A and B are shown apart, each in its own frame.
Chain A
Amino acid sequence: MSLVINYIANSLLILCLVTSIIQSRFLFKIQNYNLLSISQISAIQFLSILVSFFLLIFLFITSDFNFDLVYFHSHSEKPLIYKLSGVWGNHEGSMLLWILILVLFNFLFSLSKSSSQKFKEITVAVQSLMIFGFVLFLLLLSNPFNINNENFNDGLGLNPILQDPLLAIHPPILYIGYVGFSLIFSLSITGLLTSEVDKKWATVAKPWVFAAWSFLTAGIALGSYWAYYELGWGGYWFWDPVENASLMPWLSATALIHCVVVLQKRNTMQSWTMVLAILTFSLSLAGAFLVRSGVLNSVHTFASDPGRGLFILIFLFIILSSSFLLFALKSDKINRPTLHNISSRNTGIMVNNWLLISILIVVFLGTMYPLATDLLYNQSLTVGPQYYAISITPIIILFLFFMILSPKLSWEESKLLKIINEMRYILISCLTITFLTTLYYDLFNITEILIIFLSLILIISSLSSGLNFKSTKVIVKSNFGQSMAHAGFGIFILAVVSNAVYSQEKIYDAKVGSKLQLDEYIFDFKNIEQEEKVNFNSIKAFLSLSKNGKDLGDFTPEIRFYSDPPTITSETSIIHQFFSDVYVVMNVPQNQESISLRLHIKPFMNILWLGVVMIILGGIITAILNKKNYRENEIN
């Protein structure tokens, strides 16, 4: 049975390899093969990977330990959902998932009708060449269907910290984002090859760019939310190298989506758009490489096999060098000379593009610098959150300023004074709110006040530009997606700053029966229990929370001891309130008498996630509205 599955799966992968070669024929001007249409071959390509992916899922569900991958990463006693997520909770499986999404995008694009036949052929060809590379990598260096000759009774299990419903969906979503940019990359290469980077190109690329960007954002947000409640370190972003590896493509992708809009509207910034498209995909690949290789130590590192890292590095090198060579040869042909005015929206978008790249440089330096000093000077450094906070804050202030200003500027020429005059009510009201907040909360830090002021203006001016209030009707304008995402960003920044200022925490060595206090909250430590579950043992503490005598709910923080593989995890217990989250983490008990508990008050977390959700929805709305060709929608 196992041998049959092994045989079928490998044949399917080879079938995909062959179809990818056939698909890439357009690049080599071989046109005389017309047995099947592009979309039909893409369908075969897609189905072959889809079926082999289902085979792998089948192997994990039935716990077939004759397969190495299942043996190393699953366990018969594991709940079904984690058997399922175990499929992509490892290197080989996640590579197959990566390829599945790659062929899915290729298939979807081959079905789309937005571009000319020739353009479609070349794009699919470039994409197929990439698919060929990855499938080859899978077959040669990380085949998920390898069989062992032992008869294992049970598997070795999955890292328990990864046994979480959110983490079951986090990798697929993030991958859709990453891989989505492979299609943008293929589109850019096609644009360069045919010298057609213009309004038409931007119209074809736009829904894909926005869709990929929304998924990337959602993927990062899910990871961040997971870290917030699972790791229990009191934060939602740790500037961990792996998080940074996903943030870097996001920053360049955010610059890219704005360029595509400018290209569609004004037919300028061709070169810069191409550079960003290539950069974004390269960073996505590099992110995948960083996560996958043993260079960085974290929960994300699946396997450290130098051969695999080397393959992706070579792959990355080929993609980067060939695409930039192509760009160098063609950049003269795609650019059209245009006249710009200093006070146009173009300038604003360009400035913010550059500010995003500057943040990217901060993140890049922060991530790579310790590696570099270690290698070159044999000196170890730690680059912690403080470095990022100090370096990014001045850039964010400028960024917010131009984010408010740019949408108010016209594409032609605008008078600054006129804009300020138009915004006078918003400015005055925001100034008043900021002033009152400053007084009420004793804020004295000028940077914090400035950021709060700017993000307030951003929220209000974005919302008011996306909606038109007319007596009884609210008209949703075509830029609704944009204004929603921008307002979301303002809300996000506002929440981040307030959260940083007003977070509180305290560590107690507590005994059962004691009452703990933090701010106005009283934590009543009631009981502690030991439990035995299917795949772990646990120690659970029971606390109840009250404020001013009012009961707010119960906490059950937990320490889990997993046996396969042996790991200890700490489960955070959170009470969500509208304005602040209160949570308790238990540290691993060191002695019998008392338990070390960490209490946190995290204000504005709900608002922070609300901002993030608005950003994602804004992206999705723009991707969909583009298809409807900016028809004005009316809602009563």
Chain B
Amino acid sequence: MKLNSVTILIFTYSLLCFPVWAEETRAINIFKEVRCLVCQGQTIHESNAEIAEDLKTLIREKINEGKTDREIKGFLVEKYGDWILMTPPIKKLTYVLWFAPIIIMSIGLIVIFRRKREKV
């Protein structure tokens, strides 16, 4: 019973807060995708360096302006280069990075199953 009342309380609370939360969750999801320019391998989400805080403010503003995630990221890439994104985009430069493992894996598996079959 006690658990139920708490759940209902939290549920109502989250319903009331939903619009604010949704925006904050979106913001955090973008923060986690953006690299902090001055720290070693940290995202701006994990960092509280001045420049990271500035970027966070910038991203929050863009969300308020009604920009989509894609537009915000595109804006950042234009300004700072691909380096700013934690996950490299799929393009000519990164084909090998994205597709080599899966191709090498498949070739190897085909070889293993073929070879065995011939021997039997």
Q: For the complex, give the distance between the alpha carbons of A373 and B88 in Å.
A: 12
Contact B2 A347 (CB under 8 A): no
The chain A residue with its CB closest to the CB of B107 is A354
CB-CB nearest in chain B for A361: B101
The reply to whether B42 and A380 contact each other, CB–CB distance below 8 Å, is no
A28 contacts the other chain (CB 8 A): no
Q: Given that A342-B117, A548-B2 are known contacts, is A354 also in contact with B108, CB under 8 Å in the complex? A: yes
Asked if B86 and A385 sit within 8 Å, CB to CB, the answer is yes
Q: Is the beta-carbon distance between B82 and A587 smaller than 8 angstroms?
A: no
Is the CB–CB distance between B40 and A339 below 8 Å?
Answer: no
Tell me which residues across on chain A come within 8 A of B86, comparing CB atoms: 382, 384-386
Specify which chain A residues have a CB less than 8 angstroms from the CB of B43 in the assembled complex.
384
- A-B contacts, 26 of them at CB < 8 A, read A233-B42, A238-B41, A340-B120, A342-B120, A347-B112, A351-B112, A354-B108, A357-B108, A358-B101, A361-B104, A361-B105, A362-B101, A369-B94, A380-B83, A381-B82, A381-B83, A381-B88, A381-B94, A382-B84, A382-B85, A384-B43, A387-B88, A391-B102, A520-B6, A520-B10, A588-B48
* Residue interface bits B76-114, CB-to-A below 8 A is 1, else 0: 000001111111100001101110111011001100110
Q: Which of B2, B85, B101, B113 contacts A365 (CB 8 A)?
A: B101
Which bucket holds chain A's interface residue count? 35 or more
Provide the bound-state CA to CA distance between A339 and B117, in Å.
10
Within 8 Å of chain B (Cβ to Cβ): is A117? no
Q: How far is the CA of A169 from the CA of B109 in the complex (A)?
A: 40
Instruction: Report whether B93 and A590 are in contact in the complex, using a CB–CB cutoff of 8 Å.
Output: no
* Chain B residues positioned under 8 Å from A298 (CB to CB): 40-41
For window 182-198 of A, CB contacts with B under 8 Å fall at none
Bound-state Cα–Cα, A301 to B70, Å: 36
How many chain B residues touch A (CB < 8 A): the figure is: 38
Flag A489-512 by CB within 8 Å of B: 1 or 0 each. Answer: 000000000000000000000000
Considering only CB atoms, which chain B residue lies closest to A505 in the complex? B28
Residues of chain A within 8 A (CB-CB) of B116 are: 340-342, 347
Instruction: Flag whether A62 is at the interface (Cβ < 8 A).
Output: no
Chain B residue numbers with a CB within 8 Å of A383 are: 87-88, 97
Considering the complex, give the chain B residue whose CB is closest to the CB of A590. Answer: B48
Closest to A241 in B: B41
Q: Counting CB contacts under 8 A, is A394 at the interface? A: yes
What does the 1/0 interface line of A227-244 toward B look like (CB < 8 Å)? 000000110001010000
B61 at the A/B interface (Cβ < 8 Å)? no
- Closest Cβ of chain A to B84, distance in Å, is 7
Closest CB in chain A relative to B82 CB, distance in Å: 6
Given contact pairs A341-B116, A365-B97, A380-B83, a sample of 4 additional A-B residue pairs in the complex whose CB atoms are under 8 Å apart: A382-B86, A390-B87, A391-B98, A394-B102
Chain B's closest residue to A337 (CB) is: B119
Q: How far is the CA of A520 from the CA of B9 in the complex (A)?
A: 11
CB of B60 within 8 Å of the partner chain: no
Q: Is A350 an interface residue (CB 8 A)?
A: yes
Q: B46, B83, B94, B120: which contacts A234 (Cβ < 8 A)?
A: B46
Query: Which residues of A in the span 421-476 have a Cβ within 8 Å of any Cβ on B?
Result: none
- Please tell me if A40 contacts chain B, counting CB pairs below 8 Å: no
Whether A379 sits at the interface, judged by CB under 8 Å, is yes
Chain A residues lying within 8 Å of B42, measured Cβ to Cβ, are: 233
A420 in the interface, Cβ–Cβ < 8 Å?
Answer: no
**Residue numbers in B under 8 Å from A351 (CB-CB):** 109, 112
Asked whether, in the complex, the Cβ of A380 is within 8 Å of the Cβ of B101, the reply is no
Interface residues of A in 355-369 (CB under 8 A from B): 355, 357-358, 361-362, 365-366, 369
A335 contact set on B, CB distance < 8 A: none
- B113 to nearest A CB, angstroms? 7
* A395 close to B (CB within 8 Å): yes
Q: How far is the CA of A84 from the CA of B81 in the complex (A)?
A: 45
Nearest chain B CB to A365's CB is how many angstroms away? 5
Q: Please measure, in the bound complex, the distance between the C-alpha atom of A386 and the C-alpha atom of B10, giving whole angstroms.
A: 31
Residues 41-65 of B contacting A (Cβ, < 8 Å): 41-43, 46, 48
Complex CA gap A484/B6 in Å reads: 40
Q: Nearest-CB distance from A575 to chain B (Å)?
A: 20
Chain B residues, Cβ within 8 Å of A234 = 46
Q: A386 and B87: CB pair below 8 A?
A: yes
Complex-state Cα separation, A379 to B3, whole angstroms: 54
